[in-house]
Structure 1
Amino acid sequence: MKKSLLFAFALSVILFSCGGKTEENHEEHTMEHASGDASPASTSAVVSSAASSPIIDSYLAVKDALVSDNASEAASKSQALVSALKSFDISSTDAEDLEELERLQVEATAFAEKLGTEDIVAQRESFQALSVTLKDFLKIAGTDRTLYHQYCPMYKNNTGGMWLSANEDIKNPLFGSSMLTCGRVEETISMK
């Protein structure tokens, strides 16, 4: 009996801290974000560039595999991401800080290579680190679409973690099905 009560309490704390998984709470979150009044999300405008498309496409494929808790698919999809990062031609961009862009490219490639493991916990740690680096990379290199910087405060013992998504709906790759909707939009990255 005590274990059941303790479990129920722990579950309610988790659901409350992530905004819950109920349809009612999801609708409230969507309405708050859509209104712009209650949402702390900021907007960044970056240069429009199709050169980053293969990187973004591959990154989002890895993200979707992690959302689905599929470690082998994430490892498989990471090969295309590594290839896209390595083949990105920095000299063909209109970026102002080419040295920083090159540093971020090397760092992102190293994190993407670590996604090749079949250990989903290690993949998620590498993916979170990659996401931070890739966000900075895309702010310099540009993007071909609007992206949403999303953040889950409960990741890694409540230190938090972020990822990029092509839409505002929260599908958490850092927890997958165990906490699929935990998170919020922190920033919208759009084209100028």
Structure 2
Amino acid sequence: MKKSLLFAFALSIALFSCGGKTEEIHEENSMEHASGDASAASTSAVASSAATSAIIDSYLAVKDALVGDNAQEAASKSQALVASLKSFDISSTEAEDLEELERLQVEAIAFAEKLASEDIASQRESFQALSVTLKDFLKIAGTDRTLYHQYCPMYKGNTGGMWLSANEDIKNPLFGSSMLTCGRVEETIALK
């Protein structure tokens, strides 16, 4: 188990540092400025779980700081995110795939720790990678609220990037004020 955790951690570091894609391009060179209308988005039903509340709350606090172009606040808020991820007790969940959940937890912690940098471009890159991992984590562990997987096709040289939000309105943390409403809702993650 420890070897697989070490391997997963090393692999996530290698992929992140090499600039590997964390999500496929959904549309080439398209830009959509929308209010986040989720009516066309797919829906995934996940288990209800209060155990992830602290993780979601601290993740959303970092997102809001990045939306506001505040690198210092994002770095400060990332400490609570790291702590909540580390304190999440996998053995207390009713999730079926505990090994995958553990791998995702380790990967999420690694990305969240990189948010401590006060370089906003680095924070946004780490946040986007964390978002992909956290979405998968929450689909297994469950959530205490409906979340919206939002996607901006213009991020990182038009390779695209995603994040999670508690509401449909687009407030883009990957660009902040320079492209605040660029994006669309790709998926609604709803409670069963």
The 5 A counterparts of 1:65-84 are 65-84=65-84
- Cross-structure match for 2:42: 42
| Larger Rg computed on CA atoms | 1
Identity %: 85
Query: TM-score if structure 2 supplies the norm length?
Result: 0.83
Unaligned 5+ runs, structure 1: 1-16, 21-25
Number of equivalent positions: 164
- Output the CA distance in 2 between the equivalents of 1:19 and 1:103: 34
The 5 A counterparts of 1:80-119 are 80-119=80-119
C-alpha deviation, 1:18, in angstroms: 3.2
- Cross-structure match for 1:133: 133
> Superposition RMSD on alpha carbons, in Å?
1.4
Secondary structure of 2:51's counterpart equals coil
Report Cα offsets for 1:59-111 as digits up to 9, x if no partner.
00000000000000000000000000000000000000000000000000000
Secondary structure of 1:60's counterpart equals helix
Matched, 1:18 2:31: yes
| 2:160 partner amino acid | G
C-alpha deviation, 1:184, in angstroms: 0.1
- Cross-structure match for 2:176: 176
- Cross-structure match for 2:19: none
- Alpha carbons 2:32, 2:184 under 8 Å: kept: no
Secondary structure of 1:52's counterpart equals helix
- Alpha carbons 2:63, 2:74 under 8 Å: kept: yes
- Cross-structure match for 2:54: 54
Moved over 3 A (4+): 17-20
Query: TM-score if structure 1 supplies the norm length?
Result: 0.83
C-alpha deviation, 1:19, in angstroms: 3.5
C-alpha deviation, 1:56, in angstroms: 0.1
Report Cα offsets for 1:14-59 as digits up to 9, x if no partner.
xxx5345xxxxx5xx56xx36x3xx2x1000000000000000000
